[in-house]
């Protein structure tokens, strides 16, 4: 029997960890719904994204594993979405373990292990370090990348 799976996330600076999670979510059921946090909702959570909502939406929507993308506009919408889309499984990264157990009266709840060594937060920190080091007379990763790009045909 085919199951409907739903997840929520910001999906900023889309990376292999996001892709791994979405592949695994797809394998849990026949239909995958991904709710992408809007810029306004992220602001309410005190988060800033580098990639605007519409672009993050389009990136996630283009993935062959994803059947439907919806906006995440509030914490409270999860129960409504589960009912509206007849969701069988709510799944999310294990950094949220326990936080959504209250949804168990509506559907199965699963927390999936994250890809080790990668996160949007870590990428943003690394990007900040790259930018800080750029132009201080010491070859930074950005300088090296610039050199590599110039050497390409």
- Count of positions (residues) in the chain: 153
Residue 3 falls in the annotated catalytic set: no
Beta pairing partners, 4: 31
- Which two three-digit tokens encode residue 153? 């045909």
* Catalytic residue (one of 31, 47, 78, 136): 47
DSSP structure class, residue 106: T
Residue 45 falls in the annotated catalytic set: yes
Cα 93 from Cα 130, distance rounded (Å):
28
* Catalytic residue (one of 3, 23, 31, 45): 45
The answer to whether 103 and 82 have CB atoms below 8 angstroms apart is yes
Rounded to the nearest 10°, the torsion over CA 97, 93, 24, 75 is 100
Local structure of 126: helix, strand or coil: helix
Rg (CA), the chain: 18
Cα 128 from Cα 63, distance rounded (Å):
28
Residues designated as active site: 45, 47
């Amino acid at each position: 029997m085919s199951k409907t799976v739903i997840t929520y996330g910001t999906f900023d600076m889309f990376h292999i960890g996001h892709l791994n999670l979405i592949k695994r979510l797809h394998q849990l059921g026949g239909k995958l719904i991904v709710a992408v946090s809007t810029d306004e909702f992220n602001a309410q959570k005190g988060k800033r994204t580098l990639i605007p909502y519409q672009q993050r939406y389009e990136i996630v929507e283009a993935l062959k594993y994803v059947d439907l993308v919806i906006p995440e506009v509030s914490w409270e919408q999860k129960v409504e979405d589960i009912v509206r889309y007849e969701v069988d499984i709510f799944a999310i990264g294990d950094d949220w373990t326990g936080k959504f157990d209250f949804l168990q009266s509506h559907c199965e709840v699963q927390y999936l292990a994250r890809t080790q060594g990668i996160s949007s937060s870590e990428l943003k920190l690394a990007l900040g370090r790259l930018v800080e080091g750029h132009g201080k007379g010491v070859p930074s990763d950005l300088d090296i990348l610039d050199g590599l790009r110039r050497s390409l045909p």
